[in-house]
Amino acid sequence: MNHLHNIPNYTGGKFIAPNSGQYLENFEPATGQIYSYIPDSDENDVNQAVLAAQKAFPMWSSMSNEDRSAWMIKIADKIEERLEEFAAAESKDNGKPITLAASMDIPRAISNFKFFAHALTQFSSESHYMQGVGVNYTLRQPLGVVGCISPWNLPLYLLTWKIAPALAAGNTVVCKPSEVTPYTAYLLSEICQEIGLPEGVLNFVHGLGPKVGEAMCVHSDIVAISFTGGTATGKRIASVAAPMFKKLSLELGGKNPNIIFSDCNYDEMISSTVRSSFSNQGQICLCGSRIFVERSIYKKFKTDFVEKVSKLHVGDPKDEKTKTGAVVSEAHMNKVLSYIELAKSEGGQILSGGHRVLLAGRCANGWFISPTVIEGLSFDCRTNQEEIFGPVVTITPFDTEEEVLMFANSTQYGLSATIWTENLSRAHRMAEKLHSGIVWINCWLVRDLRTPFGGVKASGVGREGGMEALHFFTEAKNVCIKY
Ligand code: NAD
């Protein structure tokens, strides 16, 4: 037994150790030190959680919408009461600046619960009237036990983005947070127990993807999987779950273009582009990692952008002045650094950053990378085609709309795209032709939770958000009545 905190699983309303008795190390990225242990769970733990969720389903699914909504508001309120504690935990677990966790991650987790708590009281289904014949109406019924699997980059934010609509729609849930960032999910399970959420409604099984995640995907009593993570993992999940005819929502990788025309609002563009490139150390699936700039302003953009990026303060995520924290793990740091080497070998010139940052004091062994800007690469080289998912962007000049559309649409991915122009017709024309699920015009990461969220091509299948999520987590049944 160790002296550090062992995070438990949460199943059937109880905190329990994994059946294996084994634990995995959990690191603080800013220090490179182990600070807690998480259950190395396996299929036995998943089976136990599914049984608890099945037992809870009849009660939860038949509860009135108002009562289910009230439970979700209670969860949101409790997170809000403990916002600072949650933000500190998210920052410690993930390496992100505490100010970002406090202003984005945790508030958004609260909003996710509130939004779907309200949405469920407004949820209605369709009816199709057949003149002189009869009427059809659609029943939208909960699915049963559903599985939610989330990644490490926005840990609580993305986990709750799945849990909240799943619960709102009347399902019971088995969830598996990322093994890299399990801590705020554990705090959420504490809240479930504290408020007395009926046991088995929401269950947390911690552990590795191939063991716990895969056991969920092949479990015959988990009828739907909502997954966010890498494209390779999504492919694996589809290959095991699709033959079982499970409902699948897959939110996968991205390599998003940020397209800048010379007629844009320059000041707004440049400050947003710094954010869209390096927020959360570039570890947001929506970050614009390929920046295409119209040739007439390319030189000016390059000078101004590099100047701003070089001023981003890389530091201890605990420090409120820090804009760039640690990347999430040593393995991820090495992956990102290897892409910087690849970029150099492909002929890229590093204009800013390009290396690991070694800090002093408590962060001496932390995993930090300086925000990196690269130019001189072709649109179709590996650096510009593969997802790096770190503080690395490339800048490339373009001459025409047609050319930049070709650059933008050239990858296997299609999650989001950003366009900067004051020309309204061009903005709409481009939005129509971009291969992506989300287009931001003259902004980035402006979110309305009612809108469909997701990607095309290798960025995923299905949409989250608003009614799309409530539709995913319910089964539509048509009832036809003849006069
Ligand atoms: P990952 O695919 O390695 O892991 C995601 C989750 O899947 C983790 O909980 C992991 O344990 C689990 N998992 C791994 N193997 C599994 C398996 N065989 N079966 C079931 N579950 C398994 O991804 P990551 O490294 O945690 O996250 C980074 C990736 O997530 C990036 O590619 C990023 O673009 C993507 N992402 C996408 C979105 C989006 O909305 N499209 C949002 C955030 C992150």
Residue 180 Cα: closest atom of ligand 1: 26
CA distance 332 to 337: 9
H or E element in which residue 310 lies = helix 295-310
pLDDT of residue 39: 98
pLDDT of residue 288: 98
Residue 362 has which token pair?
């408590």
Residue nearest atom 18 of ligand 1, based on CA coordinates? 210
Show the ligand 1 pocket: residues with CB < 6 angstroms: 149-153, 158, 176, 178-179, 209-210, 213-214, 217, 228-230, 233, 236-237, 251-254, 285, 387, 389, 415, 455, 459-460
Residue nearest atom 35 of ligand 1, based on CA coordinates? 229
H or E element in which residue 333 lies = helix 330-345
Cα 194 to ligand 1 centre (Å)? 29
Residue nearest atom 42 of ligand 1, based on CA coordinates? 285
Residue 177 Cα: closest atom of ligand 1: 9
Question: Angle 106-122/65-81 helices, nearest 10 degrees?
Answer: 170
452 Cβ neighbours under 8 A, 6+ residues apart:
437, 463, 464, 465, 466, 468
Residue 53 has which token pair?
């969720």
Cα 228 to ligand 1 centre (Å)? 5
228 Cβ neighbours under 8 A, 6+ residues apart:
149, 150, 151, 158, 161, 162, 251, 252, 285
CA distance 90 to 178: 12
What number of CA atoms fall less than 13 Å from residue 251's CA on the CB side? Answer: 24
Q: Which domains does the chain have, with CATH numbers?
A: 3-252+458-482 (3.40.605.10), 257-448 (3.40.309.10)
Q: Provide φ and ψ at 148, rounded to 5°.
A: -125, 125
* Alpha helices per DSSP H over 172-294: 183-195, 214-218, 231-241, 266-278
pLDDT of residue 329: 98
Q: Supply the pTM of this predicted model.
A: 0.98
- Cβ atoms 305, 395 nearer than 8 A: yes
CA distance 467 to 231: 25
Write out the catalytic residue numbers.
251, 285
Identify which of 43, 160, 178 to mutate to test ligand 1's pocket (most ligand atoms within 8 A of the CB).
178
Cα 421 to ligand 1 centre (Å)? 33
Cα 425 to ligand 1 centre (Å)? 37
Residue nearest atom 22 of ligand 1, based on CA coordinates? 209
pLDDT of residue 3: 65
Residue nearest atom 14 of ligand 1, based on CA coordinates? 209
Can you list the residues of the chain whose pLDDT is less than 50? 1
Cα 259 to ligand 1 centre (Å)? 27
Residue 23 burial (10 A CB sphere; 0-12, 13-18, 19+): buried
pLDDT of residue 2: 52
Identify which of 41, 93, 105, 149 to mutate to test ligand 1's pocket (most ligand atoms within 8 A of the CB).
149
Residue 208 Cα: closest atom of ligand 1: 11
Cα 251 to ligand 1 centre (Å)? 9
pLDDT of residue 337: 98
- Cβ atoms 274, 308 nearer than 8 A: yes
